Chain A
Amino acid sequence: MYDNDQRPPRRVVITGLGTISSIGLGVAAFLDGLRSGRSGVKPITAFDTTGFAHANGCEVDDFDPAEWIRRVDPDELGRATQFSVAAANLAVADAGLSLEELRQRRALVSVGTTDAEARDLDGLVELQLKDGPEQLPPGVVRRAQAGRLSTGIVRELGLTDVEALTIPTACAAGNYAIGSGFDAIRGGEVEVALCGGADAVCRKTFAGFYRLGTIAPEVCQPFDKDRKGILTGEGAGILLMESLESARARGARVYAEVLGYGLNCDAHHPVAPDQGSLARCMEVAHRNAGVKPEDIDFISAHGTGTRANDVTEAGAIRQVFAAPPPTISIKSMIGHSMGAASALASAACALALTEGFIPPTINHRETDPECGLDCVPNEARPAELNVVQNNALAFAGNNAVLIFGRYREAE
């Protein structure tokens, strides 16, 4: 939706949240999980885990797509797209927008992902090994497309004046998608944006991380001296964003304001993060959002629970912040939901700002002195928050940092 009109920048607010996670379906359950430090860990059921010495994960285990998806046949959607579509429905309802109102607005739909429908691709591989490639089911092949994660939302909501893109920038993709929605609203290109991320647990990614030795045997313990790695998870987080003007005009509840974001690329290593580059990304985000390090009240870290990530990320935070604020990882609760991770973390940031608390880092026993951060161990902490930061890192050195602010009516 690009053209070159000169429009003054608008303020961008989040007025709807849709969350599908291993600690609950819908925003109320998600909030309750974050507050109470609920764990979504259980043995993986998505695929046959025979032969793996351990196979815990954070699956969404009580999801009946027919309950959450109304117009599109759920069988035409892969599991990640089902999550994405369900979360979009939830976000629209949460924002109090009728479908009629929504369809009258020019929209951007952008959904981040790591694996898209790799779960279906896994299934197709299994079929191919059994019967050969001549006999694959067309319906599954058709739905196993990355683009579906965003066009599925368009079909379900019956949008017509819409730009729909999927952003497969791996484990930072949710922040990328939300950032693009922020720019589109801010620049006056669209009147509503449905943005976030989605992924489904799959064998391919579990086997890869397991082979790399980065799957924790039992639980995910970010910043703990005994942390043992990630747990693969799944779900979706979709945020409904609009201009402050539009939210005010319809008397919408505002969760938070999106203040800005920063992106950069280490351009250094395919999988190992780079401290200096991540620090620079945070600085870029602060500049874009017009905030200073001392304004940040807490950081929602990428915090995967691997040795490499947590030390590098903590180092980058200390490089930017003279006195680092509390730094938490909700991956301790919901695992690493890949492309959904930073979108669900963004939803958590928005809820934290609204409700006045910092979500905890659970499974925590002893902070790694090499990390040396206050990770709000095990129990949520009440706090009056004004500005919060959400970090995301991805393979290929793709960093994305979002900044959210509390919205006060009186302003």
Chain B
Amino acid sequence: MSPLVLSAWSAVSPYGVGSASFSEGITAGRSAVGTLDRAAYPGPFERGGLVPDFTAARYVGRKGTRTMDRVTALAVTAVGRLLASCDAEPARRPEETALVLGTGSGSVQSIMDFTRDSFASERPYHVDPARMPNTVMNRAAGQSAIWHGIKGPNTTIAGGWLTGLLALSYAVRLHRGGHCARVLCGAAEEYSTQRAWLEWHGRTAEERSAPLGEGSAVFLLETPEDAAAAGRSPLARVRSTRFRAFGEQGEARTALAACVRDALETTGVAADDVRLVAPLGAGGELAALEEAGVADALGATDSRWVRCRPLLGDTSAASTSLQLAAVLATVGGPGLAPGEAALVTGIERDGTVGCALLTGA
């Protein structure tokens, strides 16, 4: 069995809807963090990276979207654009196609608004039944499947900042286990006032004021044979994912270095071949530990570092998926060249680290 390849992708990001605006913004290194509309988004932040003018009605359509929340609409849009970019071909074999989507806590806005209605209404059960599915965390993945007719395994993954890497790892495992022929895999996160307040209170003082972002990135993961048969040229091979955990914060550096070394050793990829590194860059002091850990493992290389965080804000559960998209955006149309490798990394404040190693197809 040859490694799975990434052969198509889409992004909905603070740069706009679609991979073109994302690629343009990332390669230009232009920040998409702007001033928030404080009437629409009261709360502790004045700045944020929001998908401009994004609403479900505008991008998903007016029909059937009255109760669709923002994270669901972001996911449905990203999956829709991914399918459109490959002529909807994966959706024509719906039973063989899996959808694996990462989320933070679904929509905390939807969840907490629902509870608020129970507290604040005349009767505790005066809640909107049409909105109940929004309070369940598999809503975005499930609705994306319903919207686009994807009938294979449909799995929601959560793991804080590592969510996108964990979704990728889960997706390749699912494929290897014989549960699907291809996977649409990625993550989505929404900006909401409720999420903003939770992030604000949950963060340490040093990272408290860093702006939040939102977005979604989704990838088509398939065999090189299937890609070739469909006339798609692979952009990268997924060679390895690795995860570890650490106790004290200072151990994050060695834990991540061990992940990267293990990924390189197992696949026989040389550190010098790693041309691109896309780190998470989040969590105050953790960001410096992350860069140091990667540098420990790679040694002295002239790898190019693509840092999404200053450009997009803290996109939480979508972070590592958007980093992966940033790698593909940076290498451009033909993808990673033979002999070239790229690394996506992350450290989660809960005490876990992870990386994904990609090479040229």
Q: Are A145 and B138 in contact, with the CB atoms below 8 A?
A: no
Q: Are A189 and B132 in contact, with the CB atoms below 8 A?
A: no
A218 within 8 A of B: no
Interface string of A243-275 (1 = CB under 8 A from B): 000000000000000000011111111110000
Given contacts A3-B266, A268-B146, A396-B143, contact A121 B173 (CB under 8 A): no
How far is A170 from B111 in the complex, measured between Cα atoms in Å? 14
Q: Which residue of A lies closest to B123 (CB)?
A: A51
Q: Are B159 and A133 in contact, with the CB atoms below 8 A?
A: no
Interface string of B300-341 (1 = CB under 8 A from A): 000000000000000000000000000000000000000000
Q: Are A122 and B198 in contact, with the CB atoms below 8 A?
A: no
Q: Are B154 and A208 in contact, with the CB atoms below 8 A?
A: no
B77 within 8 A of A: no
B26 within 8 A of A: no
Q: Are A263 and B143 in contact, with the CB atoms below 8 A?
A: no
B156 within 8 A of A: yes
Given contacts A50-B124, A121-B111, A165-B159, contact A187 B176 (CB under 8 A): yes
Q: Which residue of B lies closest to A143 (CB)?
A: B202
Q: Which residue of B lies closest to A213 (CB)?
A: B129
How far is A161 from B246 in the complex, measured between Cα atoms in Å? 9
Given contacts A145-B160, A395-B136, contact A160 B116 (CB under 8 A): no
The residues of A that contact B273 with a CB separation of less than 8 Å are none
B85 to chain A minimum Cβ distance, whole angstroms, is 20
- The residues in B between 167 and 215 inclusive whose CB is less than 8 angstroms from any CB of A are 168-170, 172-174, 176-179, 193-194, 197-198, 201-202
Q: Which residue of B lies closest to A212 (CB)?
A: B129
Interface string of B97-134 (1 = CB under 8 A from A): 01100011110100110111011100111110100110
Q: Are A396 and B141 in contact, with the CB atoms below 8 A?
A: yes
Q: Which residue of A lies closest to B149 (CB)?
A: A267
Q: Are B178 and A288 in contact, with the CB atoms below 8 A?
A: yes
How far is A129 from B112 in the complex, measured between Cα atoms in Å? 11
In-complex Cβ contact of B177 among A124, A147, A161, A183 (8 A): A183
Q: Are B115 and A203 in contact, with the CB atoms below 8 A?
A: yes
The residues of B that contact A158 with a CB separation of less than 8 Å are 247
Given contacts A1-B243, A168-B156, contact A208 B142 (CB under 8 A): no
How far is A89 from B150 in the complex, measured between Cα atoms in Å? 38
The residues of B that contact A270 with a CB separation of less than 8 Å are 133, 139, 142-143, 146
How far is A150 from B138 in the complex, measured between Cα atoms in Å? 17
- The residues in A between 165 and 214 inclusive whose CB is less than 8 angstroms from any CB of B are 165-170, 173, 176, 179-180, 182-184, 186-187, 189, 203-205, 207-208, 210-212
Range for the number of chain A residues in contact with chain B = 35 or more
How far is A113 from B119 in the complex, measured between Cα atoms in Å? 24
Q: Are A159 and B155 in contact, with the CB atoms below 8 A?
A: no
Q: Are A176 and B155 in contact, with the CB atoms below 8 A?
A: yes
Q: Are A151 and B352 in contact, with the CB atoms below 8 A?
A: yes
The residues of B that contact A46 with a CB separation of less than 8 Å are none
A290 to chain B minimum Cβ distance, whole angstroms, is 11
B158 within 8 A of A: yes
Q: Are A141 and B245 in contact, with the CB atoms below 8 A?
A: no
Number of B interface residues at 8 Å Cβ cutoff, please give it: 91
Q: Are B116 and A125 in contact, with the CB atoms below 8 A?
A: yes
The residues of B that contact A125 with a CB separation of less than 8 Å are 112, 115-116, 119
Q: Are A187 and B177 in contact, with the CB atoms below 8 A?
A: yes
Interface-facing stretch out of B9-17, B27-35, B233-241, B277-285: B233-241
In-complex Cβ contact of B245 among A1, A159, A207 (8 A): A159
B289 within 8 A of A: no
The residues of A that contact B2 with a CB separation of less than 8 Å are 4
In-complex Cβ contact of A1 among B43, B156, B177, B241 (8 A): B241
Q: Which residue of A lies closest to B196 (CB)?
A: A133
B1 within 8 A of A: yes
A394 to chain B minimum Cβ distance, whole angstroms, is 6
B230 to chain A minimum Cβ distance, whole angstroms, is 21
B23 within 8 A of A: no
- Tell me which of B114, B142, B194 has the highest count of chain A C-beta atoms within 10 A of its own C-beta: B142
A381 within 8 A of B: no
Q: Are B173 and A267 in contact, with the CB atoms below 8 A?
A: no
Q: Are A154 and B351 in contact, with the CB atoms below 8 A?
A: yes
A341 within 8 A of B: no
B152 within 8 A of A: yes
The residues of A that contact B177 with a CB separation of less than 8 Å are 179, 182-183, 186-187, 288
The residues of A that contact B151 with a CB separation of less than 8 Å are 264-267, 277
Given contacts A6-B1, A264-B152, A266-B151, contact A397 B146 (CB under 8 A): yes
Q: A146-B103, A160-B255, A205-B135 are in contact. List 17 more A-B contacts (CB 8 A).
A: A3-B267, A4-B1, A5-B266, A113-B137, A124-B112, A125-B115, A129-B120, A133-B197, A146-B137, A164-B352, A167-B156, A208-B135, A212-B129, A264-B95, A268-B146, A269-B146, A288-B178
Chain A residues in contact with chain B, CB under 8 A?
1-6, 49-52, 113-116, 118, 121-122, 124-126, 128-129, 133-134, 136-138, 141-142, 144-148, 150-151, 154-155, 158-170, 173, 176, 179-180, 182-184, 186-187, 189, 203-205, 207-208, 210-212, 262-271, 277, 280, 284, 288, 394-398
Q: Which 4 A-B pairs have the closest CB atoms?
A: A396-B142, A168-B137, A263-B153, A265-B154
A-B contact pairs, 14 of them (CB 8 A): A114-B136, A133-B193, A134-B44, A146-B137, A163-B241, A164-B159, A168-B106, A207-B114, A207-B127, A208-B127, A265-B145, A267-B94, A395-B142, A398-B138
